[in-house]
A = this chain, B = another copy of it.
Amino acid sequence: MSKVVKFGGSSLADAKQFKKVYQIIKEDKERKFVVPSAPGKRFKEDTKVTDLLYKAYRAQNKSEFNATFEEIKERYQDIIDGLKLNISLDEDFEIMKKAFEDQIGEDYAASRGEYLNGKVLAHYLEFQFIDPKDVIFIDEHGNYDIEKTDPILSAALANVENAVIPGFYGSLNDGSGIIKAFSRGGSDVTGSIVAKNGKVDLYENWTDVSGFLIADPRIVKEPDVIETITYKELRELSYMGASVLHENSVFPVRSEGIPINIKNTNHPEDPGTLIVESTCHKPAHVITGIAGTKGFATVMIEKDMMNSEIGFGRKVLEVFEAHDLSFEHMPSGIDTMTIIVNTDEFIDKEQDVLAGLHRAVQPDSIELESDLALIAVVGRGMKASRGTAARVFNALAKENINIKMIDQGSSELNIIIGVRNCYFEPAIKAIYNEFID
């Protein structure tokens, strides 16, 4: 067994956090490859090192630059001193200063937070340091170049017992050696790519939470943690607004069948959330998670005998497509068809779409409503458990919440419910309380 351990910014914000990370890595020999983020916030009003780096890079004058640059140096020196390490970053800072003055690129500037943190951590752990600029290659759009990266990174990792590989960046895949950051997902993507190419058995993603929560803690007070979740469930929850790992950071490990374990650096004893391709483990609850978002609009099209018009649905969707609008759902009655779209995307094109629909399908009427919230109740356990829909709708009925839309396809992995924006939070609370106690 071997593992990749990725630590988020709050897990490496200062010397105290570094000590926890050391403890975690050293107590388990399987934790071979370490992917650090840049130092995050130490307290609520603190600034992340990455943000200081951007600030320094964009500084309008010398004094602002110098003050910010000093602040960055102090952050690292505090860590080095706190850990009583025998390492100096002076040379690195000299090179950085020069590069910043030459304005060699924002990605370069931002990436130095991870780079320096990786150097310090590698020294502290006595692990080898691997600079991702030599082993991870990123295209101009910020996506990982699989063909160029995989052979080089695999070879590099095969040659070492242990290593620290900073997250968030690599170099452009054009051979120029220019530092390039990932567009989305940051250090999580690096962890995932390292896990894939290090051929490990588990990707531990260490954060400041003990896993994913069943519902948004701003809505439900102290929600339970999800023990095990499949990639599919995760995708459904994240799509509906739950803040979880970015897609890009999931694909490399998913394709290799490597599970991800979300862990809490401050509570390493907590089991966290395990993300898997599929599992025979009976889920702890019938539902795995609840997520949702406000801000959808409904376009309800009525036309007598629409069902007997072959091509009706296609023509309707063509109008939305012509205006570059994607639709979320399309529930249909007998003579009605409702298209659900994102209000922000729709609002400016509203009248054009209406005119287009009138031309395309000559409806009897079109009604618009714009305060719809969508809630997804997700769970692989729903398939085996009859009466889930009843429990969901009971819970909402008890709270007097009117349901504007219901959509359950035959995957039986989720039920999607539309309610007015004002019922969004009460609906999530009601569903949570029905299933989790």
Binding site for B on A (CB under 8 A): 232, 235-236, 239-240, 247, 298, 300, 302, 304-305, 307-311, 313-314, 317-318, 321, 324-338, 367, 369, 376, 386-387, 389-394, 396-397, 400-416, 418
Q: State whether A333 touches B409 (Cβ < 8 A).
A: yes
Contacts of A330 in B (CB 8 A): 313, 330, 332
Contacts of A311 in B (CB 8 A): 317, 321
Provide the bound-state CA to CA distance between A390 and B407, in Å: 14
Contacts of A305 in B (CB 8 A): 247
Chain B proximity of A377: nearest CB distance (Å):
11
Q: State whether A307 touches B406 (Cβ < 8 A).
A: no
Contacts of A240 in B (CB 8 A): 334
Chain B proximity of A335: nearest CB distance (Å):
6
Q: Is the interface of A mostly helix, strand, loop or mixed?
A: mixed
Q: State whether B409 touches A336 (Cβ < 8 A).
A: yes
Provide the bound-state CA to CA distance between A404 and B412, in Å: 7
Contacts of A326 in B (CB 8 A): 307-310
Q: State whether A332 touches B397 (Cβ < 8 A).
A: no
Contacts of A310 in B (CB 8 A): 321, 324-326
Chain B proximity of A24: nearest CB distance (Å):
32
Provide the bound-state CA to CA distance between A235 and B308, in Å: 13
Q: Identify which of B331, B369, B389, B410 contacts A393 (C-beta below 8 A).
A: B389
Known: A336-B409, A410-B418. 20 other contacts (CB 8 A): A232-B335, A239-B307, A300-B409, A302-B411, A311-B317, A313-B327, A314-B314, A330-B332, A331-B331, A332-B407, A332-B409, A369-B410, A386-B397, A387-B397, A390-B390, A390-B397, A405-B410, A406-B415, A407-B407, A407-B408
Q: State whether A235 touches B412 (Cβ < 8 A).
A: no
| Most chain B CB atoms below 10 A, which of A311, A394, A405, A406 | A406
Provide the bound-state CA to CA distance between A415 and B403, in Å: 11
Chain B proximity of A374: nearest CB distance (Å):
11
Chain B proximity of A358: nearest CB distance (Å):
18
Chain B proximity of A391: nearest CB distance (Å):
8
| Most chain B CB atoms below 10 A, which of A298, A309, A327 | A327
Q: Identify which of B235, B309, B331 contacts A409 (C-beta below 8 A).
A: B331
Q: State whether B314 touches A318 (Cβ < 8 A).
A: yes
Contacts of A386 in B (CB 8 A): 397, 400-403
Q: State whether B314 touches A414 (Cβ < 8 A).
A: no
**Complex: chain B residue closest to A317, CB-CB:** B314
Provide the bound-state CA to CA distance between A247 and B336, in Å: 17
Chain B proximity of A207: nearest CB distance (Å):
24
Chain B proximity of A243: nearest CB distance (Å):
16
Provide the bound-state CA to CA distance between A412 and B412, in Å: 22
| Most chain B CB atoms below 10 A, which of A304, A311, A313, A392 | A313
Contacts of A334 in B (CB 8 A): 235-236, 239-240, 376, 414
Provide the bound-state CA to CA distance between A311 and B317, in Å: 8
